[in-house]
Each structure stands twice: as C-alpha cells, then as structure tokens.
Structure 1
C-alpha cells in the first residue's frame, strides 16, 4: 500500500494533497492524530538511508531547543522524531517501495509523475 505521512494542519501539506491525482490510492496518515510508530520510522529510515534524512531542521522546536548547536547522532534524530511529530520532514510519501521526503518542488514533481 502506498502511503503519505502528513500533517493535516500544515498548509503546505494540504496544498500538496490537493494537487495529487484523485485516483492516487494513497493511505493517508496524519502524524499528529496518529503518531508514527518506531516500526514505521525504521521502515522509512531503511528506505531513506538515515534518520537524519527524515529530520526537519525547519521545526520550531529545533530552534527553541537549540539543537542546531548540538552534535546530533542518528539515535538522536530517531528519538526526536518519535518524541514529537514536528521533527519529521513532511510530507513523506512511500510509493512502490521508494521514499520521497519533504516538500521541495523537485520532490513533489517526482511524486506527481509516479502517481500520474
């Protein structure tokens, strides 16, 4: 099953979801209402190659916790993503065993091409 991990309250995520083909047959997973599990995060990490690739440095908590001045390890990235949904770079698409992370134009264009 192809899946999108997103935040329903995020305007960017909502805009991206509106742009998806209606017949995309994605399973939608709102990470605020239904936090990701360690198993789901581990699956994402295997596809992405690292927890750091899934970690959002744009999160307000990243700044308020002064994490930019800390030397974070892979286990730190995993811990923070599991502790608070805001640390997951979003949206995350898993389509046909391939992962697409974040909202860059290039990334979303690839997702639309694959779903189209």
Structure 2
C-alpha cells in the first residue's frame, strides 16, 4: 500500500507533496477525513510507537500544558484520535515502510 496522511494547510506537507510523484498514492487529508482507530493502530504496528506519530509542534500541545505532563503511549494515541493536529505529518506509507514528519529519516 502507498498512502499519505497530510494536512492541506501545512506548509511542510505541501512542500513534500510537491517534491514527489503522488500519482500511485492514496492521499488522506486528515482534517476533512480524520484518521480512524484502525488506521492509527496500523501506523502503530509499523512504528511500534504512538509517541513517534505525535506532534509536539501542534499549538494545542502548548495550550493544553502537555509539555509538563508525563504522557503514556495510550495518552498519545487518544490525543491523536481526538485532535488531528496532534498527528505528526506528513505520514508516508510505502509497503511496510513508514516515514513520519518532514525529515528524511526512515522510522521503520
């Protein structure tokens, strides 16, 4: 499977999508079509961590005072499900490999 989770208002997502050929990919804009429990759990099976998928750059992270809290994997999972901005983006899946965020570092 080739899939990209992205946010159309995210400058990084727009830059990454512009730089690659996405014709073979399923694109899911996470504000219009929020990530489901099943999809998030599938990402977890590839990354082995919800924390890796969690964005600390989201404005709500600071607003909610999450920096001063000890968050568990279940907390990260629930925050991502509750608020699309907490999913680090873009998330690019190519077969069994997943790339999370704007770095070229391969997560799995």
TM-score, structure 1 normalization:
0.87
CA deviations over 1:34-80 (Å, ceiling 9, x no partner): 00000000000110011001000111000000000001001100000
How far is 1:93 from its partner? 0.6
Instruction: Please state whether the residue corresponding to 2:60 is helix, strand or coil.
Output: helix
Give the whole-Å Cα distance in 1 for the aligned partners of 2:22 and 2:56. 31
| Counterparts in 2 of 1:88 and 1:22: CA distance versus 1, 3 Å | closer
**In the aligned structure 1, how far is the partner of 2:22 from the partner of 2:73?**
36
| Counterparts of 2:102 and 2:25, CA distance in 1 | 17
C-alpha deviation, 1:30, in angstroms: 0.2
- For residue 70 of structure 2, what is the aligned residue in structure 1? 71
Partner-residue secondary structure (3-state), 2:99: strand
Are positions 1:30 and 2:29 aligned together? yes
- In structure 2, runs of 5+ residues without a counterpart are none
Q: Which 4+ residue blocks in structure 1 deviate beyond 4 angstroms?
A: none
Partner of 2:58: 59
Which has a greater percent of helix? 1
